[in-house]
Amino acid sequence: MGDLVPYDQVERMANAIAKSGLFGIKTVDQALALMAVAQAEGRHPGSVAKDYHIIQGRPALKADAMLARFQQAGGKVEWKTYTDCNVTAMFSHPNGGSVEIVWTIEMAQRIGLSTKDSWKNYPRQMLRARVISEGIRTIYPGVIVGEYTVEEVQDFDHKPMVDITPPANPKPPAHAAQSDIQFFDLMVPGSDAPYAHCDGWDEFKAQFNDLVARVKQSEKLDEQTKAAKIKLLWETNRTVIGQQAAERLADLNG
C-alpha cells in the first residue's frame, strides 16, 4: 500500500461493501471502523472485506487470515491431529519458541460450548479456530493484538456497551517516565482531555476498537448517528492513525 487512502474514498468503499451484504458487514459504520484500523496498520482498507466478519456487531478476524498473518511474520504450524474430536498443532516462531496446542471436544463440553449449533455442525472447524487463536497468542501475540476469530466471537456473551463518557481524570501509566516507550493519547470528540493515555500502539488500537464497539452496540442511537460518531472519532484521532500507518509503511519499504 502507498499513501493513506483519503477518507472520501474509504467512505465510498465502505458504502459498497455494506450494500453488497457480503462478509457479514451490513452497515457503513462497521466497514469504516475496520477500514480505519487496517489503514493504521499499513494495509489497504479494502482488505478488511476478505479478512473480517462482523458477528453480532463485533469485528472478528477469520482464522485463516489470523494464521496467514502469523506465517507472514515468520511463524510455522505443524498439524498433528485433525478430527472432529481432537485438533492438535505445533506452533513455532524464531522470537517465541514453540508450543503444542490441543483442543478437544471434551474441553469444549466442559466450558459449555459444544451445545451451540456451530459446534454441533462443524466441530473440527471450531476446534481448529481455537487452536489457531491460542497458539498464535502464546507464541507471537503481536500479530493479533485485540483480535478474535469469528468462531470465538460467536461464543461471546454479547452485552451492549453504551457509555463512552471520558474518565474524569485520565492518568498515564505508572511507568510513563520510561523514555523507550511511546505513548499515544486517545481522544474523543468534544473533549480537550484525553480519553486514555495509551502505552504503545497496540493499546491505542484496542482502546479505539472498544470505543467503536460501544458506539455500534448502543441501543440509544440510530444507524445514521452511529456512523457519524464513528466518522468523527476516526477524524479526531487521524493524526495518530496516519502517523502509525506511515511508520509501518517505512518499515516495510526498508
For 48-104, the pLDDT digits (tens) are: 666 666 555 566 677 888 898 899 889 999 999 999 999 999 999 998 899 999 999
Query: Strands 86-93 and 76-82: what pairing?
Result: antiparallel
Q: Which three cell numbers stand for residue 159?
A: 452485552
pLDDT at position 23, please? 62
CB atoms within 10 A of CB 180: 4
Closest of 119, 106, 1, 127 to residue 63, by C-alpha: 127
Q: Which three cell numbers stand for residue 5?
A: 487512502
Least confidently predicted of 3-7, 129-133, 210-214, 250-254: 250-254
Contact 219, 25 (CB under 8 A): no
Q: Which three cell numbers stand for residue 32?
A: 469504516
3-state SS, residue 162: coil
Contacts 24+ apart (CB under 8 A), 84-88: 84/123, 84/124, 84/127, 85/123, 86/127, 87/124, 87/127, 87/128, 87/130, 87/131, 88/131
Contact 200, 181 (CB under 8 A): yes
Biggest CA–CA distance in the chain, Å, is 55
Q: pLDDT tens for residues 146-200? A: 555 555 555 544 443 333 334 444 444 444 444 455 778 888 877 777 778 887 8
Q: pLDDT tens for residues 192-246? A: 777 788 878 778 888 888 888 888 887 777 777 788 788 888 878 887 777 665 5
Closest of 45, 52, 49, 61 to residue 2, by C-alpha: 45
214-242 core/surface letters (b: 16 or more CB in 10 A; e: else):
ebbbbeebeeeebbebbbebbebbeebbe
pLDDT (mean) for 9-14: 82
Which residue ranges make up each domain of the chain?
Answer: 7-59, 64-154, 183-253
pLDDT at position 131, please? 93
As a whole number of angstroms, the distance between CA 129 and CA 151 comes to: 7
